[in-house]
Structure formats: C-alpha cells, structure tokens
Amino acid sequence: MRRNSAVSLRSQTGSALVVAIFIITVMSMMAAAMIKINASQTVTTTQEILGTRAWFAAHSGIEISLNKLFPIGDPNQMLTCDVISHQIPLVDFDGCKVSVECDEFVANDDAKRRIQLRSTGRCGSGQYQVTRQQQVWVKGLVQ
C-alpha cells in the first residue's frame, strides 16, 4: 500500500508545473495587453491636448486679424486685407504656429465689402502634429 501512494505523488508533481507555466503565460499576456492599452491612451490624450491648443491658436489668429481689420475707436472703419500678416507670432503657445489667409469680395447687389478670414493653427511635431482651422466672414460698407 505504501508503494501506491509514492507512485501517485510522483504522477501529480508534473501537473503542478504545467499549471504554473499556464498561469505565468496568461498573466504575461494580460500584462502585455494592459501596456498596449496604456500606450494607446497616452497617444490619444496627447492628440486631444494638441488639438485643443491648435484650435485656440487658430481662434487667436482670427481674433488678432479682426482687431487689425476693425481698429478700436471708429466703428464704421474697416481696413483691407493688407493689414493682415500671413504668419502671426503667438505668445504662450510653445510648439504652435498660426497662419491666416485673407480674401476680399465686393458684392455688386448690396454694395457691401466682404472679407473671408481663414486661420490655421498647427501644434506639435512629427507623428504628433495636429492642425485645426477656423473661418470667419465679415462685411462692411464699401469705402
């Protein structure tokens, strides 16, 4: 009887090793999946932040251009696209650039001058570069 118990102990020793290897493999795969999910979330967060910064940079380009088109003090005065610079330097927007395009149109039917402003904000570099655009139409009296 003693001999049978020794044989059964030896046959069970290998199964514990198989179970341990299986558990280690499953845990390693779960850890690799978690690392991949974390890296993906980091990229998504970076792109969201850069996208928001690019949107505000483009918005700042529009605001600066509108301030140049409509100088303070004379509400009836509307200047031309000549006062708009193509590249606008920004303060506190490290890694961001803004370019503004300005086009003028004169409508014959209502004698109003229309100006289209398109501002493009770019933030980041390389793989993590994000671009946002904004467009505004303004109109004023023909001078």
Q: How many CB atoms lie within 10 A of CB 42?
A: 10
Q: Where are the alpha helices (DSSP H) in 70-143?
A: none
pLDDT, position 31:
92
Backbone φ and ψ of 126, nearest 5°: 60, -130
The whole-angstrom separation of Cα 126 and Cα 68 is: 33
96-112 pLDDT per residue, tens: 999 999 998 877 766 67
134-143 pLDDT per residue, tens: 999 988 755 5
* Domain total of the chain: 1
Give the type of residue at 75: P
For residue 103, the enclosing domain spans: 2-141
Instruction: Tell how strand 112-123 and strand 130-141 pair up.
Output: antiparallel
Backbone φ and ψ of 61, nearest 5°: -60, -40
The whole-angstrom separation of Cα 95 and Cα 9 is: 68
Lowest average pLDDT, out of 10-19, 50-59, 65-74, goes to 10-19
The whole-angstrom separation of Cα 82 and Cα 86 is: 10
**In this prediction, what percent of the chain has a pLDDT beyond 90?**
34
CA distances for 55 relative to 48, 49, 67, 98, angstroms: 10, 10, 19, 10
Question: What are 54's two structure tokens?
Answer: 């690019």
Is pTM beyond 0.75? Reply is: no
16-58 pLDDT per residue, tens: 788 889 999 999 999 999 988 887 888 888 899 999 999 999 9
Instruction: Identify the band that residue 84 occupies on the pLDDT scale cut at 50, 70 and 90.
Output: confident
